[in-house]
Amino acid sequence: MKGTNFRKPDVSSIRPDGVRHNINYVSNARDMRRELEAFDSMVRADARAIHELYLLDGTLVRRHVPSGVLYP
């Protein structure tokens, strides 16, 4: 993965159960591959967190929910 290191999410919070919830938004839909690589990097960096990637219109692109974590 060329140059995709850990990337800070656009939004990060801690749920009441202590699980971190990170949300990132696709800043350039033309470069979806880079966005997906950055998402995978975020999951590797914090695999126990919920991660979501959305288009700017609110469409969910990808979600990671760790095993054992309840998510609606």
Structural domain boundaries enclosing 22: 11-55
Q: Determine the Cα–Cα distance for residues 72 and 70; give it in Å rounded to an integer.
A: 7
| Model confidence pLDDT, tens digit, residues 38-72 | 999 999 999 999 999 999 999 999 999 999 999 98
Task: Report yes or no on 36 lying in a domain.
Answer: yes
Task: Report yes or no on 62 lying in a domain.
Answer: no
Task: Report yes or no on 20 lying in a domain.
Answer: yes
Task: Report yes or no on 42 lying in a domain.
Answer: yes
Pair of tokens at residue 19? 């699980």
Task: Report yes or no on 6 lying in a domain.
Answer: no
- Three-state DSSP state, 45: helix
Task: Report yes or no on 44 lying in a domain.
Answer: yes
Task: Report yes or no on 69 lying in a domain.
Answer: no
Instruction: Please give the tally of structural domains in the chain.
Output: 1
| Model confidence pLDDT, tens digit, residues 18-47 | 999 999 999 888 989 999 999 999 999 999
| pLDDT at residue 8, rounded to an integer | 80
